[in-house]
Amino acid sequence: MAIFRTRAVAPLEYTRKAWMQMWVGATLLFLYAPLIVLMIFSFNDSKRNVVWKGFTFKYYEKALGNDSLVEALTNSLTIAFFATLFSLVLGALAAVMLWRFRFPLKGVVEGSISLPIIVPEICLGVAYLIFFARIDWPTGMAWPLNLSAITIAHITFCFPFVAMVVRSRLASFNKEEEEAAKDLGATEWQTFRDILLPHMKPGLIAGALLAFTLSLDDFVITFFTSGPETITFPVKVYSMVRFSVTPEVNAASTVLIVLTVVLTAIALKMQGVKAIAEVH
Q: Closest CB to other proteins among 7 and 48? A: 48
Longest dimension (CA), the chain: 73
Instruction: Burial-class residue 255 by CB neighbours within 10 Å (0-12, 13-18, 19+).
Output: middle
Residue from 43, 82, 161, 224 that binds other proteins (CB under 8 A)?
224
SS3 state of residue 55: strand
101 binds other proteins (CB under 8 A): yes
Q: Which residues of 147-169 are buried (b: 16+ CB within 10 A; e: fewer)?
A: bbbbbbbbbbbbbbbbbbbbbeb
End-to-end Cα spacing for the chain: 25
Task: Give the shortest CB-68-to-other proteins separation in angstroms.
Answer: 16
Q: How far is the CB of 191 from other proteins (least distance, A)?
A: 10
1 binds other proteins (CB under 8 A): yes
The Cα 218–Cα 153 span in angstroms is 10
The correct pick among 7, 9, 33, 83 for binding other proteins (CB under 8 A) is 33
Residue of 64, 85, 141, 256 that binds other proteins (CB under 8 A) = 256
276 binds other proteins (CB under 8 A): yes
Contact 125, 221 (CB under 8 A): yes
The answer to the question of residue 200 lying near other proteins (CB under 8 A) is no
The nearer residue to other proteins, 106 or 201, going by C-beta atoms, is 106
| Residue 190 binds other proteins (CB under 8 A) | no
Contact with other proteins (CB under 8 A) among 3, 118, 142, 184: 118
Name the amino acid, one letter, at 201.
K
What type of residue is 127?
A
Residue of the chain from 83, 147, 163, 205 that contacts other proteins (CB under 8 A): 163
Q: Which residues contact 129 (CB under 8 A, 6 or more apart)?
A: 224, 225
Nearest of 75, 103, 32, 4 to residue 229 by alpha carbon: 75
Q: Is residue 197 at the binding interface for other proteins, with CB under 8 A as the rule?
A: no
Q: Name the one range near other proteins by CB under 8 A: 52-60, 66-74, 138-146, 268-276.
A: 268-276
Q: Is 8 in the site for other proteins (CB under 8 A)?
A: no
Q: Closest by alpha carbon to 159, among 105, 98, 107?
A: 98
Query: Which residues 45-84 are close enough to bind other proteins by CB under 8 A?
Result: 48-50
Among the listed ranges 52-60, 66-74, 127-135, 139-147, the one in contact with other proteins (CB under 8 A) is: 127-135
Using CB under 8 A as the binding rule, whether residue 243 contacts other proteins is answered as no
Q: How far is the CB of 117 from other proteins (least distance, A)?
A: 9
Using the rule CB under 8 A, is 9 a contact of other proteins? no
Q: How far is the CB of 274 from other proteins (least distance, A)?
A: 5
Residue 112 in contact with other proteins, rule: CB under 8 A? yes
Distances, alpha carbon 92 to alpha carbons 28, 195, 211, in Å: 35, 14, 12
* Helix segments in 135-219, DSSP class H: 143-146, 148-170, 175-183, 188-191, 197-217
If one asks whether residue 264 binds other proteins (CB under 8 A), the answer comes out as yes
